[in-house]
Chain A
Amino acid sequence: MSHDSHHAPVADKMELAPERSDLGLFRPDRTRGLFDWLTTVDHKKLGIMYGAFAMLFFLVGGVEALAIRTQLARPDNDFVTARMYNQLFTMHGTTMIFLGVMPLSAAFFNFLVPLQIGARDVAFPRLNAFSLWTFVAGALVLNGSWLFEFAHLAGWFDNFAWHKALVYTDFAPANGWFSYAPLSGTFGQANAALQAPRFTGVGTDFWIIGIQILGIASLAASFNFICTIVNMRAKGMTMMRLPVFTWMTLVTSILIILAFPAITVALIELMFDRQFGANFFNPSAGGQPVLWQHLFWIFGHPEVYILVLPAMGIVSEILPTFTGKALFGYPIIVFSGAVIGFLGFAVWSHHMFTTGLGPIPTAAFSLLTMAIAVPTGVKIFNWLGTIWGGRIRFTPPMVLALGFIWMFMCGGFSGVMHSAAPADAQQQDSYFVIAHFHYVLLGGVLLGLMAGLYFWFPKIFGRMPNAGIAYLATGMVILGFNLAFGPMHYLGLAGQPRRTHTYHAGNGWETWNYVATIGAFILGLGVFLAFVNLVYTAFKGVKCASDPWNGRTLEWSLPSPVPEYNFARSPIIATRDVFFEHKHGVHRLAYENDGGEAGVHMPSQSWFPLLAGFGFLIIGFGMPMMAMGVPHAGWVVIAGLGVMFMGIWLWALEGPGGYMLKTPSDPHGAAAQAKAESSAY
């Protein structure tokens, strides 16, 4: 076979003849620069790309948030129209959740999980690349809707016949991130062209197909990560020796594969309503809009834990490192994470108390919601137990992790308030809810993810972010965040409704809205400053040792940046935190094999995951065009499906490929030298 010659270990891929795949085509392994990034299957490079895209979309979502706050700074403001405002808050929520937090978590999953379990890569490297490019396709589809909106506002569409047929012209999604039916659906009777009248414009179709594509990306990635964690652990890495971050990745991935099918089906049903005149949520034909709410929140509530559990995992890695103590109550932390994931499926209707579920379901969902505070509280106490009596070193990641505990708890307290159905009936759709989930998602998740960025950046790029700017940014984020969202508790209880583009003077809301807007700008500047600091560090930062924090988990045992083959010698795990025990334990545990290995098997790069992702991009733009009535758009969708299938088919036929890489005989020579130079912290 063509790659038999690739069995002899080589020090550099270039020593081999160019590799041909089973299709007879050259594999893109000699590429450099852009083509290398487009065809890579290396989990570390994919992780970096996930992170870069996530940070970009964080900024996009942030600009949308600041536009919202600018509009609300004063009563009766006209900074944006009501229609634009709807699109802004919808895209803000959708962007932050699906294009900001989830991919940034995925960036950490990608980069860290194989390193933390002592593996070469994930179980399916090309599937991993497919997940990334499919995510990018979904993100471009969702945000591509803005281009249509701007073109429409500029009047470019006015001469097209299909445009005149549209009564409603929200080209960007405008239903809120949950797209409640019937607003997102249809009403009345479908006509001969199978189209029923709709409440909202083509933005909803962009949203439907965009989320559908992002769901495929998340599902593929999650199958891969579960498989990796369950199946690719190094010798001795039992489940109860896994780092907590890896554990939370596992729980999150399980949540994704069980929760996303509900939204997939809901989106299919909504798509059939809008494109083919079906009646799933059409009230005039007997459809029940409340069914959409159920299906959405059966996905949507686990989604909340999909967002927060990775951040909890990150904090569980940072606190032990900077207190010099093992994580307090490791098994209980792991168990609590699993219980949160499990209970996450049993509380969805607390988003729907005001729909009139009846007393029994309301009471049951109230109780279960209160119950979920227990494992969460257990985690908080375990983190406090970790800090207690530790030698605390204050560093940017540690300060952010402590901020996470504090701010997340505030969000948790208001969350427990919502769990009481009568109280929730008062708070529903008010700014109190906005305050609650921003404390959880921003004070919790964003601070946790920022902590993770500052913690692992030295490992990812071998360079240390500037601590002074990091502290400044952290201070601005925490101050600005509390100024922005603290007052919203009051505004909500004082009656200010969500999703409303303005308010009149005289309700007593003016002052705190103004304060919130100032806070939002401080927060936005803080996040921007933190990102600028990080991006600068990636390229120009001060080089640092491979283990600058005195880390505990296996990734710190590797040189920085991590070599493409990860572990020159496969690790042996005799205990939890084996690398820390190796450095400081009484017995100085050995943690790796004594060489003698045939080399490391490296997977080959491929164009086809990118091609399959490109197919999704074509489908994603074709479907809304079809809904707009653009002629022949159906053929574009079919062409996109063809490209997608072609990508997957060629990917299956090209074979996994790969070659053996000889690793250096003394992998720690450089690392040991770097360790001698003491770190800045």
Chain B
Amino acid sequence: MSQAADATHAHAPTSTGIDHKKLIMWLFLASDCMFFGTLISTHLLYRKLYPTGFTDAEGHQQFIQKLFNIELTSFSTFILLMSSFLMALAVSAMHKGQLKSFRRNVLGVIFFGLIFLGCQVYEFTHFYHQGLTIQNSVLGSTFYVLTGTHGTHVAIGILWLVLLYFYSFTGKLTGHMAGLDVEIAGLYWHFVDIVWIVIFTVVYLVEYLGPSGFWGTGLPLAK
């Protein structure tokens, strides 16, 4: 399909000059902000209410910092940040019509996204064996549902990028609309990344603030 036909066919100029697809993605992200805002609020409210953590299967009071492996989470956070960098490169490549560069970078994003998910799976299994379950405490419920929902977002993003990657071999991912389609996937990916930065800060890092944790009764930083 030629560019001219592309323009006259389905894409009349919009009132704002912003393409419909991009606008609706921004609207979705606005809605998703409220979604994660509600989940994060739930976690923080309960964290303030029950600062001591949870009771494990043996009846011992446990502190969440003892579970956290902040080095591992920092690593996976860094990986997710770098995946955003690769995503930006993929978007730029597609805008320039460099299909091969696009594929290389998108594979990188998918690979980094999978590393992040792998870390999360490891973390969940590890915490579970340490005694934090979704049933045994409010902390378990809020932690797993919040970070799990974020993980689901990452997984959907990976699925989307895998489909885009294979779609790029059909020869249909060309022209102005292709750049836009990849850019929209990029918007989603960056958003999910930014949400993780917030979660990493308020769920993980603040536990290490101050001599006994942000909530006042945690353990000191030295493990």
The interface size bin for chain B is 35 or more
Map CB proximity to B onto A282-302 as digits: 1 under 8 Å, 0 otherwise: 000111100100010010000
- Residues from chain B with a CB closer than 8 A to the CB of A231 are 14-16, 18, 20, 23
B135 pairs with A230, CB closer than 8 A: no
| Distance in angstroms between the alpha carbons of A69 and B8 in the assembled complex | 59
In the A-B complex, the 9 residue pairs with the closest CB atoms:
A261-B35, A261-B34, A278-B141, A265-B38, A231-B14, A277-B135, A257-B31, A190-B135, A123-B20
For A190, the closest partner residue in chain B by CB is: B135
* Interface residue? A598 (CB, 8 A): yes
* Interface residue? A224 (CB, 8 A): yes
Q: 6 extra interchain contacts, Cβ-Cβ under 8 A, other than A279-B135, A288-B49?
A: A4-B1, A227-B24, A257-B31, A262-B38, A269-B42, A280-B145
| Distance in angstroms between the alpha carbons of A1 and B37 in the assembled complex | 45
A272 pairs with B31, CB closer than 8 A: no
Which B66-95 residues have C-beta < 8 A from chain A?
none
A272 pairs with B50, CB closer than 8 A: no
Partner of A291, one of B12, B45, B163: B45
Which B127-147 residues have C-beta < 8 A from chain A?
134-135, 137-138, 140-142, 145
- Taking the closest CB of chain A, its distance from the CB of B58, in whole angstroms, is 16
Partner of A4, one of B5, B27, B35: B5
Chain A interfacial positions (CB closer than 8 Å to B): 1, 4, 7, 22, 123-124, 189-190, 194, 196, 219, 223-224, 226-227, 230-233, 237, 257-262, 264-266, 268-269, 272-273, 276-280, 285-288, 291, 295, 298, 598, 601, 603, 649, 656, 658
Known A-B contacts A231-B20, A268-B145, A277-B135; the reply to A223 vs B28 at CB < 8 A is yes
Partner of B35, one of A22, A233, A264, A603: A264
B138 pairs with A279, CB closer than 8 A: yes
- Residues from chain B with a CB closer than 8 A to the CB of A286 are 46, 49-50, 137-138
- Residues from chain B with a CB closer than 8 A to the CB of A260 are 31
Known A-B contacts A269-B42, A278-B135, A286-B137; the reply to A261 vs B31 at CB < 8 A is yes
| Distance in angstroms between the alpha carbons of A269 and B46 in the assembled complex | 13
- Residues from chain B with a CB closer than 8 A to the CB of A658 are 9-10
- Taking the closest CB of chain B, its distance from the CB of A254, in whole angstroms, is 9
Partner of A230, one of B16, B38, B149: B16
| Distance in angstroms between the alpha carbons of A123 and B30 in the assembled complex | 18
- Taking the closest CB of chain B, its distance from the CB of A231, in whole angstroms, is 4
- Taking the closest CB of chain B, its distance from the CB of A276, in whole angstroms, is 6
| Distance in angstroms between the alpha carbons of A286 and B5 in the assembled complex | 62
Partner of A265, one of B39, B46, B141: B39
- Residues from chain A with a CB closer than 8 A to the CB of B46 are 286, 288
| Distance in angstroms between the alpha carbons of A601 and B1 in the assembled complex | 16
* Interface residue? B223 (CB, 8 A): no
- Residues from chain B with a CB closer than 8 A to the CB of A196 are 135
Known A-B contacts A280-B138, A280-B141; the reply to A261 vs B15 at CB < 8 A is no
Chain B interfacial positions (CB closer than 8 Å to A): 1, 5, 8-10, 12, 14-16, 18, 20, 23-24, 27-28, 30-32, 34-35, 37-39, 42, 45-46, 49-50, 134-135, 137-138, 140-142, 145, 149, 163, 172
**Chain A interface, DSSP helix/strand/loop, else mixed:** helix
Can you give 22 contacting A-B residue pairs, CB < 8 Å? A124-B20, A189-B135, A223-B28, A224-B24, A227-B20, A227-B24, A231-B18, A232-B15, A237-B15, A257-B30, A269-B141, A272-B145, A279-B137, A280-B42, A280-B145, A286-B50, A287-B141, A598-B8, A601-B9, A601-B10, A656-B10, A658-B9
B31 pairs with A265, CB closer than 8 A: no
- Residues from chain A with a CB closer than 8 A to the CB of B37 are 261
Known A-B contacts A194-B135, A280-B138, A285-B137; the reply to A261 vs B16 at CB < 8 A is no
- Residues from chain B with a CB closer than 8 A to the CB of A4 are 1, 5
Known A-B contacts A7-B5, A272-B141, A286-B138; the reply to A230 vs B10 at CB < 8 A is no
| Distance in angstroms between the alpha carbons of A223 and B50 in the assembled complex | 38
| Distance in angstroms between the alpha carbons of A217 and B183 in the assembled complex | 25
- Residues from chain A with a CB closer than 8 A to the CB of B141 are 269, 272-273, 278-280, 287
For B148, the closest partner residue in chain A by CB is: A272
A257 pairs with B27, CB closer than 8 A: yes
A265 pairs with B15, CB closer than 8 A: no
For B37, the closest partner residue in chain A by CB is: A261
| Distance in angstroms between the alpha carbons of A276 and B144 in the assembled complex | 12
| Distance in angstroms between the alpha carbons of A62 and B41 in the assembled complex | 38
- Residues from chain A with a CB closer than 8 A to the CB of B28 are 223
Partner of A233, one of B10, B15, B39, B50: B15
- Taking the closest CB of chain A, its distance from the CB of B52, in whole angstroms, is 11
B138 pairs with A285, CB closer than 8 A: yes
- Residues from chain A with a CB closer than 8 A to the CB of B24 are 123-124, 223-224, 227
The CB with the most chain B CB atoms within 10 A, among A196, A231, A273, A285, is that of A231
- Taking the closest CB of chain A, its distance from the CB of B27, in whole angstroms, is 5
The CB with the most chain A CB atoms within 10 A, among B32, B138, B140, B149, is that of B138
- Taking the closest CB of chain B, its distance from the CB of A375, in whole angstroms, is 23
| Distance in angstroms between the alpha carbons of A266 and B163 in the assembled complex | 31
- Taking the closest CB of chain A, its distance from the CB of B172, in whole angstroms, is 7
Known A-B contacts A123-B20, A262-B34, A286-B50; the reply to A276 vs B15 at CB < 8 A is no
